[in-house]
Amino acid sequence: MRLADKVAIVTGGDSGIGQAITLEMARAGARLMIDYFGDEAPANALVEQIENFGGKAAAFSADVSKPDEVDSLVAQTVKHFGGLDILVNNAGIEQKHPFLEMPFEIYTKIIDINLTGVWLCSQRAAQQMVKQKRGGRIINISSVHEDLTMPTNAPYCASKGGVRMLMRTIAVELAPHGITVNDVCPGAVDTPMDAALKQDETKYEALLSEIPLHRMAKPQEIAELCVFLASEAAAYITASSYVIDGGMMQKSGSL
Ligand code: NAD
C-alpha cells in the first residue's frame, strides 16, 4: 500500500475533491483526519465508509482561517494517530462578482480561507513534521487560476496565485527537513462548487468548449495525483505546480 502507516489531514475533506482525496488516501493505507466545517454528518458518514473497508479515519471540525482551530486540528490528529505525515490543503471557496462591485467582506473571506488557511495549516503541520524528524508532504489543491485569469473571480484568482508563491517559498525553506510542498491545479471538476454552472446548459456547453478533452474532471482523477505526490515515488518532487485540466490552459481559441 503506497501510503501504509502514514497519517494525513485533508481540510474540507468531507465534500467534492476533498472527499475523493480522503477516500483514495485511506484506500492507499493512510490514516485520515477529515477536517470539516459546518455540518458533521457528511464527515461522520465518510469515517464510517472508510471503516467499512477496513481503513482508519476520524473527523474534526476546524475553520482553516482560525489559528486556534488549526492548532487543535493538528494536536487532535497527533493525539489520535500518533503523528502527522501528510497535509492536504483542500478547503476553499469562491464567490463571483465583477471587480468594481466586489464587496470588501467577500474579498477578505476568500483570502482568509483560500490563502491564510493554507498558510496556517502548512505552518502548524510543518512545525509538527519538523519535530518528528521523518519528513512530510504538503499538497495544496490550488487551481488553473493560480495562473489563468477569471473575470468576476478576482479574489479567488488572487488567493490561488498567492498559494503558488507561498508553496514555492516554503518548499525551499522546508526542503532541509525532508518536507515536500506542491500544488495540484485542477481545471473544471465535477463537484458541488460547480453544481450551479452545470444547471445552466449554455454556460455548461461554453465551459466544455474550453476543454480539449471536452469534459469536467472526476474528483477521483485529482485524488489519484494527490496519492502519487504523497507517496515515496514522489520523494524528489517539490516546489512544483501540477496542472490537471484536460488541456484547458493550452486551448488555442482557434475553434
Ligand atoms: P466543495 O465546495 O465541494 O468543497 C470545499 C470544502 O471546503 C468543503 O468541505 C467546505 O466545507 C470546506 N470549507 C469551506 N470553508 C472552510 C473553512 N473556513 N474551513 C475549513 N473548511 C472549509 O468544492 P471543491 O470543488 O471540492 O473544492 C475543493 C478545492 O478544490 C478548493 O480549494 C477549490 O478552490 C479547488 N478547485 C476546485 C475546482 C472545481 O472545479 N470544483 C477547480 C479547481 C480547484
Model confidence over 143-193: pLDDT tens digits? Answer: 999 999 999 999 999 999 999 999 999 999 999 999 999 999 999 999 987
204 included as an active-site residue: no
What residues form DSSP beta bridges with 34?
10, 59
What residues form DSSP beta bridges with 123?
none
Largest CA-CA distance found in the chain, in angstroms, rounded: 55
110/152 Cα distance (integer angstroms): 13
Identify which has the larger pLDDT, 236 or 251.
236
Q: What is the mean pLDDT of the chain?
A: 97
Residue 176 grid coordinates: 532541509
Q: What is the DSSP letter of 116?
A: I
Residue 162 grid coordinates: 498567492
User: Which amino acid is present at 157?
Assistant: C
Mutate to test the pocket of ligand 1, among 189, 207, 241, 243 (most ligand atoms within 8 A of CB): 189
Q: Strand, helix or coil at 126? A: helix
Q: Measured in angstroms, how far is the CA atom of residue 235 from the centroid of ligand 1?
A: 26
Q: Measured in angstroms, how far is the CA atom of residue 233 from the centroid of ligand 1?
A: 27
What confidence tens digit (pLDDT) does each residue in 104-140 have?
999 999 999 999 999 999 999 999 999 999 999 999 9
Identify the band that residue 254 occupies on the pLDDT scale cut at 50, 70 and 90.
low
Nearest-5° angle of CA 32, CA 35, CA 41? 100
136-141 and 31-36 beta bridge pairing: unpaired
pLDDT above 80: residue 255? no
Strands (E), the chain: 7-10, 31-36, 56-61, 86-89, 136-141, 179-186, 240-244
Q: Measured in angstroms, how far is the CA atom of residue 193 from the centroid of ligand 1?
A: 7
Of 140, 135, 141, nearest to 175 by C-alpha is: 135
Q: Which residues, at least 6 apart from 201, have a Cβ–Cβ distance to it below 8 Å?
A: none
Q: Whose CA is nearest to atom 32 of ligand 1?
A: 92
Q: Whose CA is nearest to atom 33 of ligand 1?
A: 92
Record: fold of 7-251:
Rossmann fold (3.40.50)
71: left (phi over 0), alpha (psi -120 to 50) or beta: alpha
Binding-site residues, ligand 1, Cβ < 6 A: 11-12, 14-18, 35, 37-38, 63-65, 90-93, 113, 141, 143, 186, 188-189, 191-194
47/22 Cα distance (integer angstroms): 10
pLDDT above 80: residue 253? no
